[in-house]
Structures are given as structure tokens and as C-alpha cells.
Amino acid sequence: MSQFKDLCAIGRVSNLPTVVSNVFLGCLLSYFFGNYHNEVRFIEPMLIGCFLYLAGCFFNDFSDLKWDAIHKPDRPLVTGRVKKSTLISLILACLSAAFILASQLQTSVIVVSLLIVLMVLIYTVIHKKTVWGCVPMGLSRCLLLYLGLTANKVSMGNGFFQNWDFVSILSGVYSLIPFAPYTFGLLCYIIVLTISARFEASNSLSRPLRVTLICFMAFFLLYLTKLFFFWDQPFALVLLAIITFLLLPYRTLSSNISKAVASWLAGICLLDLAFFLSFSMEEWKKHQQGQETILIFLFAPLVFLSCYFSAKLLQKYASAT
């Protein structure tokens, strides 16, 4: 039981609900942007995302063994509570499970999965050496959205690279453009979060840097939910409430960085919910005649909120960072 808890800590299982949330949003977007009236796959891409995330976390701890031996000597791998052979086996098992599932879907799902693995590898190599490690970390998160998108056939042009000729590739790139704003906003959110996490060991963050980070995050949260331009949209007050709630951890950033980062990690689910609400009314006008669409509008917010509360609950059992 003790080893299981250690493995949960190494695998950051408390963040798995946020992975599910990101992929779920991608699946919803595939429904609204071209997959309307078609079957949408949710389970397979969510499982792929979770397996890739676990493999990445296990590999990260394995690679950081020497650094942790000096700076975090109580880590399970350093103390021997978890064996290196066990961790290697789990990495291979998670990667195998992810790519077996991906092979049952479209080729583009395998490509996105490989890109996630590549971003994790780059992050693992450079994150202890440079602050720019936050970029591949953010990109690996953003790719979870595209995992949900590419797992479902989307009728925009020729879909997401279903054929690999030049015209199909251009069409596939063009069909990804509507999702660029959220991708950029999520990337910036993760960058702020990752930079803050770099100071966990010292638990010290200068006031100018704290102010800069929170202003940066506030700007992109407003940008992400379109509140800069559409104050009169139906969910404006709800979106503003979510943004305010996501900024609250700033209060603990000066005294308890780990707590602030953990809150922001769980808040990824609320970020997904905010983006869903920001585009949902326009899509509602297009598809309100469908009973299935009504069910999705009622069901989706519950999924995002369930992911958020699950992440907060799991953080009591296993550390999020």
C-alpha cells in the first residue's frame, strides 16, 4: 500500500483529471466543429492521454534521480521505496497501452501521441537547465486538446490529415486554426504555472516576479475567454467569476508556492470550462435543434466540474507537483 502511494505521487495521479478535462474539451470541439450528428469518441483518447501523462511523469522522476538525490533525498526512487526496474516497467507498459489504443484510431492520433512524447523528452532534458523548459511542458498540455480532436473524424476540408498528400495536409492545418486561441491561452497559463513551480524548493519568489506572473496570467485568461471583446455575452459574469477564482492562488504564492501551483493545476479544468462556455452560445444557435446537442450542453459543464473536484480530492492523497 505504501509503494502504491509512492507510485501515485511519482505519477502525479492527482493531475489525471486535468488530462481527462483537456482531452474531453478536444472531443467536444470536434463535435461542434464538423463532427455534428456523428459518433464522438471520448474514452479512447482520454485513456491515451492518461497513459502518456503517467509515462511522462515516471520518466521525469527516473531522469531526475541524481538531482533529487541532492535536493530531494526523500523522493521514493532516491530512498529505494520504489525500484528503478519497477519504474522502467511502468513506463514501457504505459507507452505500450497508449500506442496500442492510438493504433486503433486514426494515424493522426499516433502522430499527436508521438509529438506529446517528444515534448516530454525535450522538457525532461532541459527543465533543470533553463527556464525555457516551460515551453515544451506547455506544448505537451496543448497537444492533449488535439488528441481529442484528431481521435474523431472532423468534416472540415479533408479532416485532420486523414490523407498525407500536400492538399490534405494544408486542409488539416487550416482546420486547426479555430482552436489556436485556446491553444495559445492554455500555453501561457502552463508557462506561468511551470515558472512558479521552479521556485518550489526554495519557496521564495520575488514580489516583482509574482506581480509579473499574475498580470501575465490575468491578461491571457481575459484573452482566452474573449471577455476583452464580448462583455455582453450570456456567460460573461460566470466567466469573470471563473477567472477571479483562478487568480486567487496568487495570495499564497509568496508563502506556499506548492499550494498555489497545485490550485492552478486543478484549475486547468475550470479553464477548459471557461473556454467551453465562451464559444458554446454561438454553437448553440447553430445546433440547438438537436436533442443530442442539448444533452451535451447540460452534461459538459458537469464533467469539467467533476474533473476539478476530483483533482482537488486526489491532491489530499498524492502531491500534484
Report DSSP state, residue 267. T
Residue 29 has pLDDT above 60, yes or no: yes
- The confidence band for 280, taking pLDDT boundaries of 50, 70 and 90, is low
The pTM is what? Answer: 0.87
Q: Of 2-6, 42-46, 259-263, which has the strongest mean pLDDT?
A: 42-46
The size of the chain, in residues, is 321
Residue 309 has pLDDT above 70, yes or no: yes
User: Residue 103 and residue 251: Cα distance in Å, rounded?
Assistant: 45
In one-letter notation, the amino acid at residue 118 is L
- The confidence band for 200, taking pLDDT boundaries of 50, 70 and 90, is confident
- Mean pLDDT for 73-101 is 91
pLDDT at 20: 97
3-state SS assignment for residue 291: helix
User: Residue 84 and residue 49: Cα distance in Å, rounded?
Assistant: 23
- The three three-digit cell numbers of residue 210, written as one number: 509574482
Assess contact for 160 and 106: CB atoms under 8 A: yes
- The three three-digit cell numbers of residue 132, written as one number: 525555457
Residue 155 has pLDDT above 50, yes or no: no
Letter string b/e over residues 40-51, b meaning 16 or more CB atoms within 10 A of that residue's CB: bbbebbbbbbbb
Residue 69 has pLDDT above 60, yes or no: yes
- Mean pLDDT for 88-103 is 95
Letter string b/e over residues 183-216, b meaning 16 or more CB atoms within 10 A of that residue's CB: bebbbbbbbbbbbbbbbbeeeebeeeebeebbee
- The three three-digit cell numbers of residue 302, written as one number: 458537469
Higher pLDDT, 233 or 112: 112
pLDDT at 178: 63
- The three three-digit cell numbers of residue 156, written as one number: 472540415
- The confidence band for 161, taking pLDDT boundaries of 50, 70 and 90, is very low
Provide the CA 250 distance to its chain's centre, in angstroms: 20
3-state SS assignment for residue 164: coil
User: Residue 149 and residue 122: Cα distance in Å, rounded?
Assistant: 24
Report DSSP state, residue 82. S
User: Residue 154 and residue 237: Cα distance in Å, rounded?
Assistant: 32
Using alpha carbons, list the distances in angstroms from residue 168 to 110, 158, 172, 184.
17, 6, 6, 24
- The confidence band for 88, taking pLDDT boundaries of 50, 70 and 90, is very high
Of 189, 290, 291, which is closest to residue 243 (Cα–Cα)?
189
Residue 229 has pLDDT above 60, yes or no: no
- For every residue of 53-101, DSSP letters joined together read HHHHHHHHHHHTHHHHHHH-TTSHHHHTSS-HHHHHHHHHHHHHHHHHH
The average confidence (pLDDT) of the chain is 80
- The three three-digit cell numbers of residue 268, written as one number: 486547468
Of 247, 304, 258, 319, which is closest to residue 17 (Cα–Cα)?
304
pLDDT at 312: 94
Least confident of 24-28, 139-143, 168-172: 168-172
